[in-house]
Structure 1
Amino acid sequence: MTLTASQSLPKLTPRQLAVSQLVNASRILAYQGIADDSPGHISIRDPLSPNTTFLITGGSSSAAHITPADIAVVRINDSVVTSAALSGYAPPLRPAEIFIHSSIYQRFPNTTVSSIAYYRAEQLLPWSLFPTNATNITSSAVTAADLAGFYAATSGTAFMGAYPAPVFNVFDAEPRTTSVAVDNTIKGYELAQKFGPSDAAIHTVNETDGFRPLVLMRNDGATVVGTTVPETVFRFIQAAKNARVQYHSSFLASANGSVPQLLPLAATKTGDDYLRSWLLWMSQIEPSINADSVRSPELWKGNGDSNSGVSNTNGGVTRRPFAVSVSLLAICVAFLPSLLFSM
């Protein structure tokens, strides 16, 4: 059966589509074991003003229970929450590490970074505990002494390129800090530098001073960037899988003194084939979204208009429900870049 957009896709505004993707992304990352009850959030540039604001999962809900009511609009230049993303909701609580997102969006154009995710993924934490002495050593030149660096070992992490993921040390950024959280502009600025020069394009991942789409954070977790929400989610999940593969391969290597054959430069790439994975992950979270929307329908309504963040108490705004056709929302991924950033 051939599906056409007019027959099959929900009629969502660009803002609604972005909100829906953030809700889905948060729940997918929780389902996949990336996000748990610890702090973490995912964001996207605001389709209504991609150069000045972004949308982020905020509020007090855990990643597995994010709803449209938890999505906040944040100014890029000063990290201030201006409103909820959809009218009818109060402004969600601002995440403490909001500066991760605002600093990276300030540093890179939307052609390089349009979505950011930060989570305390325990799969990646071990590699954040070691200084990266192998910064300029490619995967093909790795020795046993370099295996504390986090390299691409699977085709799913080809987006990383041939160099190891940088490690951000918050205690270098702010020596007197008592928290590993990136909770101010100084820490945010220093973290953003780790992703590469501000003019570094996506295709420079294999250059010594090129773009780096994944940065480990000492004692904290990791931040991953992408050009779309599904791509960012795909990269985070693949990085966690890569961590397990590299760990086990390094253990096997230590038994016989050999070095694992990591992904060579020739097999790296700057794009990801994430649609198939995204559709699968959407099907896995659909039951929980449908159940939550029935249990608390007021959290799943709202339109795509910008607002002042004041709750609408008279019910006069026309609202479209989000969870009626969750599986169809997944199809919108194919149309997302042209829908969100064609303005």
Structure 2
Amino acid sequence: MHLGCMILFLFLASFDVASQSLPKLTPRQLAVNQLVNASRILASQGVADDCAGHISIRDPLSSDTFLITGGSRTPAQVTPADVTVARINDSQVISAALEDHEPPIRPAEIFIHSSIYQRFPNSTVNSIAYYQAEQLLPWSLFSSDSAGINTSLVTTDDLTGFFATTSGASFLGPHPAPVFSIFDDDPDAATIAVDDVAKGFSLATRFGPADATVASVNETDGFRPLVLMRNDGATVVGTTVPEVTFRFVQAVKSARIQHHASMLSAQNGSVPRFVPAQAIKSSDEYLRSWLLWISQVENAMAADVARSPELWAGSGNAAGTGAGSENAASMKGPLSKGLALIVICTTISLASLLSL
């Protein structure tokens, strides 16, 4: 047998053995588990604190609904019981994501999610996160009148725009992140919250044309994965929950770097060199970071499961059956499932190499 095929066979065999010892999750449980992990990771990474914020994913059981973290707990304390099912067309809460739980409190800004899901297909947007990240707020305070500028044309006058400074933030594209302001449409608005359909629709348009693809991020009128929100925070979109989480963390890191670079620029008038268009990426290599971050929140999650196991129970089956201690236990092991994911991804990568 060819050596490469032998190695691939051994990888597949090892995964088959490992998978037999892993808890079996329903599609709804997998989605809920990712949202809980992401919420706690974003809190751990300093993106989310006690302010408003939530993350969502399209419902794996229905194209008409999505799952979103809600309730009254902070992002660092979110449990499966805090994930709700809402309709895309009218933002109405249908039920809790897992059975045996009361529907969590609907986030006031749920219209952010429903409006974006309506505007873009799942091949472009499958997950959305909105948080009041203070690191990004300074750039939300300036109008984005440099939208036609790309990183090769930036001058010192454009440094109030938010650009990509690192490879991790290159998903932003070569243009400054758009800034959404509720006050552009309603100068007399009494709140900055995106708390109705009209505001949600207006925000959704800032991510680009409805037919824009993720590959159009380099284009002047292309897709924009991150939109800053005046006096509020930012909304980030992507195709998976781990990708959106990675993007939010990388955007915050890039904001810190740009802040320091701008201070240095003020000393001598030079312009920071942002990521050029040819180095922009429309997809992210987030697996390594995602698995590390899960390991960092795992102990706190395990302690919460032990303290309140009822908040982690429920299978999320369409028929609403199958809750119990086995399902509660299945939500305990983000790291073990992560290790299985490593095997899968390693196998896929190895298979790709062997096919060359």
Tell me, yes or no, whether TM beats 0.5.
Answer: yes
Give the match for residue 338 of structure 2: 330
Deviation at 1:140, TM superposition (A): 1.0
CA change 1:176–1:306 in 2 (3 A) is: farther
User: Quick check: 2:84–2:93 contact (8 Å CA) kept in 1?
Assistant: yes
Give the match for residue 193 of structure 2: 181
CA distance in 2, matches of 1:279, 1:18: 16
Can you give the 5+ residue segments of structure 2 that lack an aligned partner in the other structure?
1-9, 346-356
Give the match for residue 143 of structure 1: 155
Structure with bigger gyration radius? 2
Structure 1 SS opposite 2:203: helix
1:10 to 23, 43, 53: 23
Deviation at 1:315, TM superposition (A): 7.4
Structure 1 SS opposite 2:99: coil
Count of aligned pairs: 331
Residue-by-residue CA offset, 1:99-135 (whole Å, 9 max, x unaligned): 0000000000000000000000000000000001110
CA change 1:257–1:268 in 2 (3 A) is: same
TM-score (norm 1): 0.92
Give the match for residue 35 of structure 2: 22
CA distance in 2, matches of 1:216, 1:63: 20
CA distance in 2, matches of 1:156, 1:82: 36
Give the match for residue 202 of structure 2: 190
Structure 2 SS opposite 1:156: coil
Give the match for residue 6 of structure 2: none
Give the match for residue 43 of structure 1: 56
CA distance in 1, matches of 2:341, 2:109: 27
2:318 to 306, 314, 327: 306
Q: Map 1:1-343; keep pairs closer than 5 Å.
A: 2=11, 3-5=14-16, 7-8=18-19, 9-49=22-62, 51-306=63-318, 319-331=327-339
User: Quick check: 1:174–1:187 contact (8 Å CA) kept in 2?
Assistant: no
Structure 2 SS opposite 1:294: helix
CA distance in 2, matches of 1:254, 1:39: 34
Residue-by-residue CA offset, 1:187-230 (whole Å, 9 max, x unaligned): 00000000000000000000010000000000000000000000
Residue-by-residue CA offset, 1:48-99 (whole Å, 9 max, x unaligned): 01x2100000111110000000000000000000000011111111000000
Amino acid at match of 1:21: Q
**Structure with more of its chain in helix, by fraction:** 2
Residue-by-residue CA offset, 1:127-146 (whole Å, 9 max, x unaligned): 00000111010011100000
Deviation at 1:332, TM superposition (A): 6.3
CA distance in 1, matches of 2:82, 2:196: 22
Residue-by-residue CA offset, 1:259-285 (whole Å, 9 max, x unaligned): 001100011010100000001000000
CA change 1:315–1:247 in 2 (3 A) is: closer
User: Quick check: 2:315–2:323 contact (8 Å CA) kept in 1?
Assistant: no
Structure 1 SS opposite 2:337: helix
User: Quick check: 2:88–2:117 contact (8 Å CA) kept in 1?
Assistant: yes
Amino acid at match of 2:333: S
Amino acid at match of 1:27: R
Structure 2 SS opposite 1:290: helix
Residue-by-residue CA offset, 1:267-313 (whole Å, 9 max, x unaligned): 101010000000100000001000000011111111121368xxx9x
Overall identity of the aligned pairs, in %: 61
Structure 2 SS opposite 1:43: strand
